[in-house]
A and B are shown apart, each in its own frame.
Chain A
Amino acid sequence: DAGVIQSPRHEVTEMGQEVTLRCKPISGHNSLFWYRQTMMRGLELLIYFNNNVPIDDSGMPEDRFSAKMPNASFSTLKIQPSEPRDSAVYFCASSLSRPDTQYFGPGTRLTVL
């Protein structure tokens, strides 16, 4: 099994630009999670999907952030427009409902200049 796949692994962009992060969950998993990790705030849950439907997006910082899951094998997290304070490592994770052990991707390190 390839595990959770994220792309790109590194992204450097300028303030105001649109950023799109991509995730391919483990085949057969029905839950998908997007996290953001920074030194100051630790690991924050942004949004999670169950069976491709967004269940809880209360962690999404503001309207500049949006996430989609058009099918069971693909999800995107978009930031538009990006700001320097969005710089962080963004992780995608997937799981089954039972057990709910999460499998994390390698992360995307985003730097907004």
Chain B
Amino acid sequence: SQQGEEDPQALSIQEGENATMNCSYKTSINNLQWYRQNSGRGLVHLILIRSNEREKHSGRLRVTLDTSKKSSSLLITASRAADTASYFCAIRDDKIIFGKGTRLHILP
């Protein structure tokens, strides 16, 4: 089974800047989901984008999906200290498979 691969593995930016994380995968998908994990906590669902969708927004989050390139990106605009967390993409074909995540650190 396939696994999404996030890029970069770690990212540090200044508060107020935008953060972009990418996810690549290998085969066809039904949908792709992004989750956030704060230190010591369980994962929290952020957004789901279906294979026939190209872009979705939720508050300061923007997700794009390019099925021809088998990739997705998560953009967090106007980052805040509270956005410091690990971000995972999850690929859905016959089951959901999580990537290894991007660790995002927002510097004050």
Query: Residues on A close to B: CB < 8 A?
Result: 4, 33, 35, 42-43, 45, 48, 56, 91, 93, 99-107
Contacts and interface: CB of A to CB of B under 8 A. Distances in A.
User: Would you call the interface of chain A mostly helix, strand, loop, or mixed?
Assistant: strand
28 contacts: A4-B42, A33-B96, A35-B98, A42-B98, A42-B99, A42-B101, A43-B43, A43-B98, A43-B101, A45-B95, A45-B96, A45-B97, A45-B98, A48-B95, A56-B95, A91-B43, A93-B42, A99-B48, A100-B92, A100-B96, A101-B33, A102-B90, A102-B96, A104-B42, A104-B43, A104-B44, A107-B41, A107-B42
A43 B6 CA distance: 13
User: Would you call the interface of chain B mostly helix, strand, loop, or mixed?
Assistant: strand
Interface of B: 31, 33, 35, 41-45, 48, 88, 90, 92, 95-101
